[in-house]
Amino acid sequence: MCSVGDDFWKSSGRLADGREIIYFDESPGLGRASVPDRRPLTEVPAVTAPPGGPGQDLASAGLRWDALAGEWVIIAAQRQDRTFLPPPTECPLDPSGPGRLTEIPAPGYDVVVFENRFPSLRGLPPAAPGGSVAADAPAGAGPPETGGVPGRPPTGRCEVVCFTADHQASFASLPPRRVRTVLEAWADRTSVLGATPGIKQVYCFENRGEEIGVTLHHPHGQIYGFPFVTPRTASMLGQVKAHAAAGRGNLFDVMVAGEEAAGTRVISRNEHWIAFVPAAARWPYEVLLFPLRRVPSIPALGEAARAAFCDIYPELLRRFDALFGMPLPYIAAWHQAPAGDEFACREFALHLQVFSIRRAPGKLKYLAGTESGMGVWINDITPEEAAHELREAR
Amino acid sequence: MCSVGDDFWKSSGRLADGREIIYFDESPGLGRASVPDRRPLTEVPAVTAPPGGPGQDLASAGLRWDALAGEWVIIAAQRQDRTFLPPPTECPLDPSGPGRLTEIPAPGYDVVVFENRFPSLRGLPPAAPGGSVAADAPAGAGPPETGGVPGRPPTGRCEVVCFTADHQASFASLPPRRVRTVLEAWADRTSVLGATPGIKQVYCFENRGEEIGVTLHHPHGQIYGFPFVTPRTASMLGQVKAHAAAGRGNLFDVMVAGEEAAGTRVISRNEHWIAFVPAAARWPYEVLLFPLRRVPSIPALGEAARAAFCDIYPELLRRFDALFGMPLPYIAAWHQAPAGDEFACREFALHLQVFSIRRAPGKLKYLAGTESGMGVWINDITPEEAAHELREAR
C-alpha cells in the first residue's frame, strides 16, 4: 500500500507478529515497507470482543470503571516487563542493520509509525449494527472477574512514532522539513484512527527524559486511540459548553485573546501560532501553543499554519533546553476534539501543551498529597516568572 | 490555653513569628505550650483580604482559576526556597535542645501541630455579613495582576503534624497509644478548622519518602484547610449524588459491600475497619481503608472505631514496607466530607487512601503523557495481584 501526500510518501506493511508499520518518507520510491521483518516473533492473537462483553482475560488487562471518580482506568499488567532503558547498541527504534534486527525492518527511515509491542490498548470491538459501540459509562455490575465491578476489554490502539533514525537527535534539533513530516504523520493517524469505529479520541504525545519515566532514549512519541473520551478532554468540553451557554462566547477564543492582550505570559508568536504560559499554570514550566485560527484537530490545520508550526515549535523546545542549560524532561500533549463529536468539532480548539516537571536545576516537581490525593495543584513558580525566563532562554 | 480530651491534653501557644503551635500530650501538666520560642523570627504580616478582592500581592502567591478545567490552582512561589533535605542534626521538626532552636520550642513532645512556615495557603477572609465568603467559581474577569484571569488571595491554612519526637521513627512503628493521639489531633484539627469561616474542606495527609518529593525525613504529616472543595472530593460527591438519584443507594456502601463480597482484593479487616485494593486502582499499590460503619469525617468516628484504627493502620503500613523489604514511599490521604455540606455530611464516607508510586524494587510509576496530559491512568499491576502481594507481605 502506498499513497502520496503533498510532500511525503506513505507506505505500510506488517511486522513479523502482525503489527502494522507505516513509513512516512520524504522522497518517493524507497520501498521501505516491502522490507520483511525477519525476527522470529509470535503472531499477536486477535482480540475478538463482543461490544460490552468481557471476551478476553480481564485478569491482566482491561478497562476498569472507577465509580467514585466516574472514569475508566486502564489495567495493563502485561506491560510490566517492557523494554527498560536498553544500551544504545540495542535500541529497538533504530533502523535494522547487518546482524541487528529492530522494530523497524528497513535499513533507514524518515518518520515511521508502528503498533506498540507492549500496548495498553489493543484490538477494536466490532461495530454494532448502526455503527455504535459500547457506551462510555457502564450501567450495573460487570463481569465476575472484576468482583462485580464494571469492566471491559482494553480495546483501542497504541502506536509509536519515531521522529528520526538518528538515535542521538531530539525533537528540538529536527529541521523544519522533518517537523513537517512528523506533523503530517500525526494528521494522518488522527484521521485514520478517528474514523475507526470504537475509537473516540486520538492523542498524539511525546514523553522526553528519564525523569518522567521514559524507557527508550531514541527520539520518539506515541499515539493513543482511546475507546472513550479522556477525563481532561471531557472536562474542557464541559467548561466550553457552560461558557457558551452563559452567552460569553468560545472559552478558548476568550482565553487566547486575553493572553494576547495581557502579553505578560506570551513566549513567542508568529503569523499563525501563539505560545504562552497559561495564567493558572499547574507545572513549573508549562506552555500552550495555539493556532491563531481555531481548528478542532491537526488534520484541520491549513497549509500556512502547518508550515508555520515547523519553526515555532522546535524553537520553543530549544528554549526549554536552554532554561537550565541541560535537556529538560518534558511532556508534549496534543489536545484535539474527540472523533465524531459535533459540538467539539465546532467549538474545541486544537492546542499543544508542553510542560516540564523540573522546577530548578536540582529539583523536580512531585505530585504528592495535594495533587495526587485531592487533585489540587500547587505551582512553585508564578506563570509570569516562568514566561519571563522562557522568553530570555535562547 | 489548655483543654483535656479523653486521654490526651491539648495546649496551644504562639511561635516567635506569630504562628500557632498546638501540643497534644499523652500526660497532663507538662507546660510545653508555655516554653517560649527564642528564635529571632520576623512576625508574619496578617493577610487582610476583603472577600473576593485581591488585597495582597498576587504576583507571587494566589489562587488562579483554571477556566479550561474549572478548578483552582494554587500559586505559591514564595515557597520555592523552603527547607530542602537538611542533615539530621539540623532537623527543624526535632524538639528544641541546648544550643539548638527548632520549630518546636519545647524540649520534648508527643504529637505537635503548628502552622507551616512555608505555607501555600495562609490567612482567612473575614466573614461577610451572614457568614458567607467568596464563592467557589468566579464570575467575569479578575484583577489586572493576573491579566484578566480570575484570581483570589491564597487564604486557608497549612499545618504540620509531627507524629513523634523520634527523628528515626516512622508511622508504621508507632505504638497504638501514639497512633490514637495522632488520630485525636486529626479529629481536633478537622473540627476546629472545619468550623472556621472561609475553610471549605479539611485534608489530613502524609507524604513519606524522597521519591515523592518529601523534603524533611522526620515523621510528620500535613493538614490543609482549603478555601474551596477539592476537585477529587467534588467529583466523588457528584458520583455519589448520581448513584443515589438513580435509586441505587449509597455508592460508598455498595462499593465496600462489593469488595467484602468479592474478597479477592481485601488485605485485612477487623471488627470496625476493612482495607482493600480498589477494583479500579490507579497506583501500583493502592489501598482504601474504610470504617465499616459509614461516617463523614474523623471527628464522627466512634470510640470503638478509633481504638480499632490504631492496630489496623500501622499494620497496613508495615505490609507496605515489607513488600520490597525497604521503606516504601507512600502518600496517605484522608478523604472527608467538606465542612458544612449537608448532603456530604449525610452521604460521604470517610476513608483513608494509601498508595505508593513504586511498582517494583527498581521502578517507579511515573505520571507521563496519558496521566498528566489526559487524566487517563494506566496501572501496570492488577488490583488482584497487588492485593495478593500485600496480603502475603508481613
A chain contacts of residue B372, beta-carbon cutoff 8 Å: 331, 333, 355
pLDDT at A371 over 50: yes
Say what the pLDDT of residue A51 is: 35
- Segment A143-172 shows an average pLDDT of 84
Please state the CATH superfamily assignment of the domain spanning residues A232-392 in this structure: HIT-like (3.30.428.10)
CA atoms within 13 A on the CB side of A21: 26
pLDDT band, very low/low/confident/very high, at B185 (cuts 50, 70, 90)? very high
Say what the pLDDT of residue A110 is: 98
Say what the pLDDT of residue A64 is: 94
| Contacting residues for A45 by C-beta, under 8 A, at least 6 apart | none
What whole-number distance in Å separates Cα of residue B62 and Cα of residue A389? 20
B chain contacts of residue A75, beta-carbon cutoff 8 Å: 378-379, 382-383
Question: Can you say whether residue A352 is alpha, beta or left, with left for phi > 0 and alpha for psi between -120 and 50 degrees?
Answer: beta
pLDDT band, very low/low/confident/very high, at B55 (cuts 50, 70, 90)? very low
Q: What tens digit of pLDDT does each residue of B289-340 get?
A: 999 999 999 999 999 999 999 999 999 999 999 999 999 999 999 999 999 9
B chain contacts of residue A353, beta-carbon cutoff 8 Å: 373
pLDDT band, very low/low/confident/very high, at A132 (cuts 50, 70, 90)? very low
pLDDT band, very low/low/confident/very high, at B131 (cuts 50, 70, 90)? very low
Chain centroid to CA A239: 22
Catalytic residue, chosen from A217, A220, A243, A272, is A220
**In the numeric block, which cell numbers belong to residue A72?**
475508566
**Residue length of chain B:** 394
Question: Angle B294-B261-B392 (CA atoms, 0-180°, nearest 5)?
Answer: 95
Interchain pair B279, A381: CB under 8 A: no
What whole-number distance in Å separates Cα of residue B74 and Cα of residue B152? 10
What whole-number distance in Å separates Cα of residue A67 and Cα of residue B240? 9
Say what the pLDDT of residue B144 is: 41
Residue B258 contacts A where some CB pair is shorter than 8 Å: yes
- Segment A252-262 shows an average pLDDT of 95
Secondary structure of B46-61 in HEC code, one letter for each residue: CCCCCCCCCCCCCCCE
Q: What tens digit of pLDDT does each residue of B14-41 get?
A: 999 999 999 999 999 999 999 999 999 8
A chain contacts of residue B382, beta-carbon cutoff 8 Å: 59-60, 75, 77
- Segment A200-227 shows an average pLDDT of 94
Distance, first Cα to last Cα, chain B: 43
**In the numeric block, which cell numbers belong to residue B17?**
513569628
B chain contacts of residue A224, beta-carbon cutoff 8 Å: 370
Paired sense of beta strands A201-208 and A111-115, if any: unpaired
pLDDT at B188 over 90: yes
Chain A residue with the nearest C-alpha to that of B377 = A73
pTM of the model: 0.92
Q: Looking at per-residue confidence, does B394 or A115 come out higher? A: A115
Query: What residue ranges do the domains of chain B occupy?
Result: 2-40+68-128+152-228, 232-392
Chain centroid to CA A341: 19
Question: Can you say whether residue B182 is alpha, beta or left, with left for phi > 0 and alpha for psi between -120 and 50 degrees?
Answer: alpha
Please identify among residues 362-391 of chain B the ones whose CB lies closer than 8 Å to any CB of chain A.
363-370, 372-385
Least trusted range by pLDDT, from A287-291, B61-65, B313-317: B61-65
**In the numeric block, which cell numbers belong to residue A170?**
531530539
Scan for cell 482480540, then name that residue: A47
A chain contacts of residue B368, beta-carbon cutoff 8 Å: 207, 212-214, 331
Least trusted range by pLDDT, from A78-82, B274-278, B373-377: A78-82
Q: Looking at per-residue confidence, does B129 or A236 come out higher? A: A236
- Reference B387, options B281, B283, B282, B264; nearest CA is B264
Q: What tens digit of pLDDT does each residue of B349-365 get?
A: 999 999 999 988 888 88
CATH number of the B2-40+68-128+152-228 domain:
3.30.428.10
**Mean of per-residue pLDDT scores for chain B:** 89
Say what the pLDDT of residue B4 is: 55
Say what the pLDDT of residue B56 is: 40
Say what the pLDDT of residue A44 is: 75
**In the numeric block, which cell numbers belong to residue B134?**
467568596
pLDDT band, very low/low/confident/very high, at B1 (cuts 50, 70, 90)? very low
- Does the domain at A2-45+78-127+154-228 match CATH 2.40.50.100? Answer given as no
Say what the pLDDT of residue B149 is: 63
- Please tell me whether residue B94 adopts helix, strand or coil conformation: coil
pLDDT band, very low/low/confident/very high, at B127 (cuts 50, 70, 90)? low
What whole-number distance in Å separates Cα of residue B381 and Cα of residue B386? 6
Interchain pair B373, A333: CB under 8 A: yes
Question: Mutate which of A64, A68, A220, A357 to disrupt the B interface (most B C-beta within 10 Å)?
Answer: A68
Interchain pair A370, B224: CB under 8 A: yes
CATH topology match: A2-45+78-127+154-228 vs A232-392? yes
**In the numeric block, which cell numbers belong to residue B13?**
501557644
Q: Looking at per-residue confidence, does A48 or B68 come out higher? A: B68
Catalytic residue, chosen from B218, B220, B272, B351, is B220
Q: What tens digit of pLDDT does each residue of A20-48 get?
A: 999 999 999 999 999 999 999 887 765 54
DSSP B150-166: -EE---SEEEEEE--S-
**Mean of per-residue pLDDT scores for chain A:** 89
A chain contacts of residue B261, beta-carbon cutoff 8 Å: 147-148
Interchain pair A331, B373: CB under 8 A: yes
Residue A212 contacts B where some CB pair is shorter than 8 Å: yes
pLDDT at B198 over 50: yes
Interchain pair B331, A360: CB under 8 A: no
pLDDT band, very low/low/confident/very high, at B227 (cuts 50, 70, 90)? very high
Strand partners, A379: B75
Q: What tens digit of pLDDT does each residue of A320-357 get?
A: 999 999 999 999 999 999 999 999 999 999 999 999 99
Residue A262 contacts B where some CB pair is shorter than 8 Å: yes
Q: Which of A59, A70, A264 sits opposite B382 (nearest CB)?
A: A59
pLDDT band, very low/low/confident/very high, at A143 (cuts 50, 70, 90)? very low
Task: Please give the share of chain B, as a percent, with pLDDT higher than 70.
Answer: 88
pLDDT at B260 over 80: yes
Q: Which of A70, A149, A213 sits opposite B368 (nearest CB)?
A: A213
Q: Tell me the angle at which helices A176-194 and A303-323 cross, rounded to the nearest 10 degrees.
A: 110
Say what the pLDDT of residue B364 is: 86
Say what the pLDDT of residue B53 is: 40
Q: Which of A74, A148, A370 sits opposite B376 (nearest CB)?
A: A74
Concerning whether B218 is annotated as a catalytic residue, the answer is no
pLDDT band, very low/low/confident/very high, at B6 (cuts 50, 70, 90)? low
Say what the pLDDT of residue A89 is: 85
pLDDT at A136 over 60: no
pLDDT at B152 over 70: yes
Say what the pLDDT of residue B288 is: 98
In contact, A390 and A324? CB cutoff 8 Å? no
- Please tell me whether residue B111 adopts helix, strand or coil conformation: strand
pLDDT at A221 over 60: yes
To the nearest whole Å, the CA of B209 is away from the closest chain A CA by 10
